[in-house]
Amino acid sequence: MPTAEDTDLPGPIWARGEPRIAGATHVGSVRQVNQDAFGRFDDEARSEILLVVADGLGGHLGGEVASRMAVERIGEFVRTSVGDPDERLRSAIEQANDDILDRAREDPSLDGMGTTVVCLLLVEDGRSWVAHVGDSRLYRLRGGSIRCLTEDHSLIATLVREGVLTEAQARDDPRRNQILRALGVREDVELDLGAVELQPGDVYLLCSDGLHGLIEDEEIQRLADHSSRPEAVVKDLIEAANAAGGTDNVTGVVVQIPEPMPIEPVRGGAGRLLERARALLTRPFR
């Protein structure tokens, strides 16, 4: 039974119902070091919540440093910069890229480190945004179906898109871990950024490939539907990845957008009151 770190992520109350959020990371069943990292950053003045998952690559220590730096730097830059949310998210990722590169240049033991990153910027009054580099993913569960909103920047995903490999072949391909884009590798980072239209009842999952590479999408959906508590969903997902081999570090952050509260129609209630009053008034005196 895996024990997850930091399963509770408290946050502010949103006027229309606070998104329920929980995240956890686990080293897995095979590896000695957890190179995944995740974070949550609340900006109460802007009514924004930023969620980040990063999966470090390279070296014994490097991957761990790169993923933590990515989470911290992106969280800091999105909060402290000015501009539209999508512009702040884009420049935060670019800035994190520069910082990781600089750090690797300063410290030869960190040479070759890099990290994937997937970010979900929840904005209360406006569009929310997803940005990613590498093969960490964002899923959306809505109306009984699951959809991946990010496209892996990996060799295998590219070969599947181009029809060279089938999904089934890709699952067992030894090149699964080869990613084509990462933070901290080049001066210019190429990131994908897109709008996310939140709807009440939506569930979002940010995760590293140690989760989506070991559990099928249908199983993710089944586990996400199984519990109404995000902490329980995250725990179940990590346990499922470990039960499936746990060959990699596993990280998941679950966001539940609350359903609106059912409100009894005011007119119906007032109408019934009026009817009762009329019935009293028209009752004949004896």
Residues that bind Ca ion (CB under 5 A): 55, 208-210, 248
Determine the Cα–Cα distance for residues 38 and 109; give it in Å rounded to an integer.
23
The first and second tokens of residue 36, run together, are 């995944």
Q: Tell me the residue type at 216.
A: E
CB nearer Ca ion, residue 85 or residue 213: 213
Token match 């029809």: residue? 163
How far is residue 252 from each of residues 80, 136, 151, 195, 257, measured CA to CA in Å? 26, 10, 17, 21, 16
CB nearer Ca ion, residue 64 or residue 248: 248
> How far apart are CB 63 and Ca ion at their closest, in Å?
9
> How far apart are CB 257 and Ca ion at their closest, in Å?
27
Burial 94-130 (b: 16+ CB within 10 A, else e): bbbbebbbebbeeeeebeebbbbbbbbbbbbeeebbb
Cα atoms in the 13 Å half-sphere on the side-chain side of 161: 8
> How far apart are CB 57 and Ca ion at their closest, in Å?
8
> How far apart are CB 232 and Ca ion at their closest, in Å?
23
By CB atoms closer than 10 A (0-12, 13-18, 19+), residue 133 is buried
Spatial contact of 160 and 187, defined as CB atoms under 8 Å apart: no
CB nearer Ca ion, residue 55 or residue 99: 55
> How far apart are CB 36 and Ca ion at their closest, in Å?
7
CB nearer Ca ion, residue 182 or residue 257: 182
CB nearer Ca ion, residue 202 or residue 248: 248
Residues paired with 20 in a beta bridge: 256
**In this structure, what DSSP letter does residue 110 have?**
G
> How far apart are CB 251 and Ca ion at their closest, in Å?
8
CB nearer Ca ion, residue 236 or residue 248: 248
Contacts of 146 (CB under 8 A, 6+ apart): 139, 140, 217, 218, 220, 221, 224
> How far apart are CB 252 and Ca ion at their closest, in Å?
12
CB nearer Ca ion, residue 53 or residue 196: 53
